[in-house]
Chain A
């Protein structure tokens, strides 16, 4: 037996969530060639099928691109510090791709390592993730090569499957998921067929071992020198989590803020002295690969990549994790 729900029923649910003041984030068609996770304002705005995957990720729901840590205000000779209030809005991510949801446990490790990031954990607590299993994939998808797949449940509270006829199968993974759909689904005999997902690439889970020997290779430049040094890969990545803290404002008021940062920026490792330990773009690209497939796994025992392929999709010159790994393996690293 399975649980099913109709599309109109889901949209009614969304309407109700919005009415309750919850924030609903779901894939939205921005233009014919662009689907993006966005806060939805009306229940008919978002997609439940007909897209491969949005070009951004759901990490923004728990790790916003910009957040204030505290504000300062100068009153006469006195300076007031006003800590940012903890988030309190409940969030529901709907129709997230499994490769997005799978990144949340990865982020959990980062934001709870050594110190616990209060705002992150609060948002995480307030967030329910309803993933939507993939029926299709494109040339950039490689989740299966990293142990994931079109119906991967990591990070999801519930998983939806498209059964056709405007009907979705609901598989709840956690209590949060159960609570969200309690009383909203019907029993059915229909179950979603298993979808194979993208063809498995060469053994990328073992790439960490290959990297043991690859650091000093001179080929990094040849593999990566078309990189232009933007942050499109990192910002579209569900797992990248680097940030920069700056003070913004003037002599009377302002804030300390935390913004996304990207390791491909030339300034990322620039020291105040003017020295830059990663002065060449190939060093930055190598860093990105090593962080995802070597450093992070050594520390936390899992890859910092879910194989979503967004880095390549977003890259102005079709670079990204997979093309680099493929180039490396082609050279027999």
Chain B
């Protein structure tokens, strides 16, 4: 895996197809591989690939520092890649200006990998290795959420009070989300301040409601937000409830079909609900 990956990257840099490769590298001290940006073909030896490459690198396509490096090639897993689809649908990237190197992935030892149906990238320009995509039922994919939702409503409220009590609003969830790309986040808007910036329970509830709902019908489930949260808050539950509703009500799984219409901003007269009287 690693050799063909390095070779592909070397070739792309060598022949000038791209100016930078966004991939995973590792230093001796770091526990996990971390993002590296290779601009010199002779540095492809820094690239690594192992079962700890959990970070979704797609976010870097949106960061001005990385954009400034020139046309990128990016290393993605089958799950990360879904974010690219959404970004293109939302006019944030030109797919033709990015080279996508998909790496087949057998799982990153995370819970979500057990119900992954995107081991093999589908939309990449170059694919390294081979893995089999196994269909996973919605029940399996949303089992974690379903289990949580079985709790009584007051328990759920108490759970979130305890969890969000810890949130310090470091915004690691936002900053690492591949689909958070606003020029100015709503939380930074004043006049009017739609929500409190304070890391109080009130402000934290407002923030996490906004964050989750702004991903409604968009979140691709890379779980980056939960993974990076220094307070260990399971934001995935919120994202999943939106994703499951999008799937159940509109047959939409974000980032799986480049041709699909986005959930919000579109509508169908046939949308079915029971709660509006």
Contacts and interface: CB of A to CB of B under 8 A. Distances in A.
A318 B176 contact: no
Interface in A40-94: 55-56, 65-66
B198 interface: yes
A281 interface: yes
Contacts of A235: 168, 170, 230
Interface residues of A, number: 44
A254 to B, nearest CB: 10
Contacts of A257: 198
A17 interface: no
A-side interface mostly = mixed
A146 interface: no
A56 B230 contact: yes
Given A34-B232, A232-B228, A323-B29, A316 B55 contact: yes
B7 interface: no
Contact of B168 (A31, A65, A226): A65
Contacts of A140: 29
Interface in B220-261: 224, 227-228, 230-232
Contacts of A236: 170, 230
Interface in B6-48: 27, 29-32, 34-37
A253 interface: no
B266 interface: no
Interface residues of B, number: 39
B1 interface: no
A228 B34 contact: no
A128 interface: no
A296 B37 CA distance: 32
Given A33-B232, A260-B199, A318 B175 contact: no
A248 to B, nearest CB: 5
B36 A226 contact: yes
A218 B199 CA distance: 36
Contacts of A318: 30-32, 34
A139 B31 contact: yes
A38 B166 CA distance: 9
A265 interface: yes
Interface string B142-155: 00000000000000
A285 to B, nearest CB: 10
A38 B36 CA distance: 35
A322 B232 contact: no
A305 interface: no
A163 B276 CA distance: 65
B198 A246 contact: yes
Given A257-B198, A267-B188, A281-B65, A317 B29 contact: no
Contacts of B176: 228, 230, 316-317
B193 interface: yes
B199 A230 contact: no
A229 interface: yes
Contacts of A231: 168-172
Interface in A258-311: 259-260, 262, 265, 267, 280-282
Interface in A213-261: 221, 225-226, 228-232, 234-236, 244, 246, 248, 257, 259-260
A230 B211 CA distance: 15
Interface string B162-199: 00001011111011100000000000100001001111
B66 interface: yes
B65 A280 contact: yes
B197 A246 contact: yes
A317 B171 contact: no
B200 interface: yes
B170 A230 contact: yes
A326 interface: yes
A38 B162 CA distance: 11
12 contacts: A30-B232, A34-B232, A55-B230, A56-B230, A139-B29, A221-B65, A244-B197, A262-B170, A316-B175, A316-B224, A318-B30, A323-B27
- Listed from nearest, the 9 A-B pairs whose CB atoms lie closest are A316-B228, A230-B175, A231-B170, A230-B172, A314-B230, A34-B232, A228-B175, A318-B34, A318-B30
